[in-house]
């Protein structure tokens, strides 16, 4: 048994054998998400020649039958009626709870699954800023945003740290779907060939740097969701725990979802046994900074002093005279 499976056995305990059945199977969990900017779920279901079954991860998410092939060649896909997306990948945006009118930053956005999900939630209001550091992937991101009909979007090709410095305190919500070791995608691609414990640790260090960059662009009182498609504790619970230890103005909060399984109280893990290939997401809240609280208290104290001085003068002065002066 290789190091990855040994770590999964330690993580899952009695559920490891069930996980192993999925791991050794070629029957991947496939899904799509309806683009409500162009089509309602009921309409899409009537147009496709196969049955769709809802996923627990978002209202617009559906499972694709395993025998359906080349769904990306469907004309409705080219028209932007739906986005082919691994079902559990939609969980992070659900937890972000985007509202119409929000200013939202998707910091590691390519190829665009989560960005286009955010765009549909915004429904033409507010702003979606989608960033991707790799130029070629940024072009794919732009293409997908255009295909899905999102008009209130900016696509950038910047380093996360440089972008977030320029956009300090600008966003109501931020998604950090961080580059990871991709353990949740091992069944679908060749990511396992690059896997090593050293690579996991390297990813965790980079993820913490990205998260610490993202915090600068978030408004006080805003929310940020950190997500990965990997299982390792170093990249999930480890990154969140270290971030919270370094940033006392942030707190882990309940996203109100019930899918997957809880970890760190409010974060969520999704395994193949839960209906998705694999995902982790945690929702963070940025409290008002201590500096702002101190400034606010100083202003209150100053106003209180002025009021007390005014009342002292007022009460020590003949009221009839003051009325005549008015």
Backbone torsions φ then ψ of 239, nearest 5 degrees? -65, -45
Are 227 and 184 in contact by the 8 Å Cβ rule? The answer is no
Are 180 and 230 in contact by the 8 Å Cβ rule? The answer is yes
82: how many CB neighbours lie within 10 A of its CB?
A: 26
Helix axes of 135-147 and 113-122: crossing angle, nearest 10 degrees: 40
**Domain range summary for the chain, segments of one domain joined by +:** 3-20+87-286, 290-325
Active-site residue among 39, 108, 164, 229? 229
Task: Mark residue 117 as left, alpha or beta (left: phi above 0; alpha: psi -120 to 50; beta: remaining).
Answer: alpha
Residue 316 has pLDDT above 50, yes or no: yes
Note if 229 is an active site residue: yes
Mean pLDDT across 196-213: 97
Architecture of domain 3-20+87-286: 3-Layer(aba) Sandwich (3.40)
- The β-bridge partners of 32 are 62, 84
Residue range 102-135, pLDDT digits in tens: 999 999 999 999 999 999 999 999 999 999 999 9
Instruction: Tell me which residue of 36, 32, 37 sits closest to 48, measured CA to CA.
Output: 32
pLDDT of 223 reads: 98
Cα-only R_g, the chain: 25
Residue range 173-188, pLDDT digits in tens: 999 999 999 999 887 7
pLDDT of 295 reads: 53
Name every residue whose Cβ is closer than 8 Å to that of residue 103 and which is 6 or more positions away in sequence. Answer: 126, 127, 129, 170, 171, 172, 173
pLDDT of 293 reads: 62
165: how many CB neighbours lie within 10 A of its CB?
A: 12
324 band by pLDDT with thresholds 50, 70 and 90: very low
pLDDT of 187 reads: 77
pTM of the model: 0.88
pLDDT of 318 reads: 53
290 band by pLDDT with thresholds 50, 70 and 90: low
pLDDT of 212 reads: 98
Residue 192 has pLDDT above 90, yes or no: no
Residue 220 has pLDDT above 60, yes or no: yes
Give the sign of the dihedral formed by CA 287, CA 290, CA 296, CA 300.
Answer: positive
Task: Give CA–CA dist 326/323, Å, rounded.
Answer: 5
323 band by pLDDT with thresholds 50, 70 and 90: very low
pLDDT of 103 reads: 98
Residue range 57-75, pLDDT digits in tens: 999 999 999 899 889 999 9
Q: How confident is the prediction for the chain on average, in pLDDT? A: 92
Q: Which residue has the higher pLDDT, 198 or 190?
A: 198
Task: Give CA–CA dist 201/199, Å, rounded.
Answer: 5
Mean pLDDT across 152-166: 98
- The β-bridge partners of 306 are none
Structure tokens at 37: 């900017």
297 band by pLDDT with thresholds 50, 70 and 90: confident
Residue range 75-99, pLDDT digits in tens: 999 999 999 999 999 999 999 999 9
Residue 291 has pLDDT above 60, yes or no: no
Are 277 and 86 in contact by the 8 Å Cβ rule? The answer is yes
Q: Which residue has the higher pLDDT, 309 or 125?
A: 125
User: What percent of the chain lies above the pLDDT cut of 90?
Assistant: 82
């Amino acid at each position: 048994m290789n190091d990855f499976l040994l770590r999964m056995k330690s993580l899952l305990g009695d559920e490891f054998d069930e996980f192993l059945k999925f791991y050794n199977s070629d029957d991947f969990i496939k899904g799509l998400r309806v683009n409500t900017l162009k089509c309602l779920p009921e309409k899409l279901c009537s147009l496709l020649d196969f049955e769709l079954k809802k996923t627990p991860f978002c209202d617009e998410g559906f499972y694709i039958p395993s025998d359906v092939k080349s769904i990306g060649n469907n004309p409705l896909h080219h028209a932007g009626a739906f986005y082919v997306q691994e079902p559990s990948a939609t969980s992070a945006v659900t937890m972000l709870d985007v509202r119409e009118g929000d200013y939202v930053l998707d910091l590691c956005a390519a190829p665009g699954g989560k960005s286009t999900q955010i765009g549909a939630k915004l429904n033409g209001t507010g702003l979606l800023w989608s960033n991707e550091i790799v130029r070629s992937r940024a072009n794919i991101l732009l293409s997908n945003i255009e295909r899905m009909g999102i008009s209130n979007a900016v696509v950038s090709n910047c380093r996360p740290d440089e972008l977030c410095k320029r956009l300090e305190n600008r966003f109501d919500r931020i998604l950090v779907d961080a580059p990871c070791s991709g353990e949740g995608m091992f069944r679908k691609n060749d990511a396992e060939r690059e896997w090593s414990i050293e690579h996991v640790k390297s990813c965790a260090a980079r993820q913490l740097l990205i998260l610490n960059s993202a915090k600068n662009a978030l408004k006080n009182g805003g929310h940020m969701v950190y997500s990965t498609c990997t299982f390792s504790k170093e990249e999930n619970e480890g990154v969140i725990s270290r971030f919270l230890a370094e940033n006392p103005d942030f707190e882990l909060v309940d996203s109100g979802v019930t899918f997957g399984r809880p970890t760190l109280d409010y974060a969520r893990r999704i395994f193949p046994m839960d209906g998705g290939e694999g995902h982790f997401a945690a929702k963070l809240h940025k409290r008002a900074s201590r500096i702002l609280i101190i400034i606010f208290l100083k202003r209150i104290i100053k106003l209180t002093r002025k009021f007390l001085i005014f009342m002292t003068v007022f009460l020590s002065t003949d009221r009839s005279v003051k009325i005549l002066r008015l």
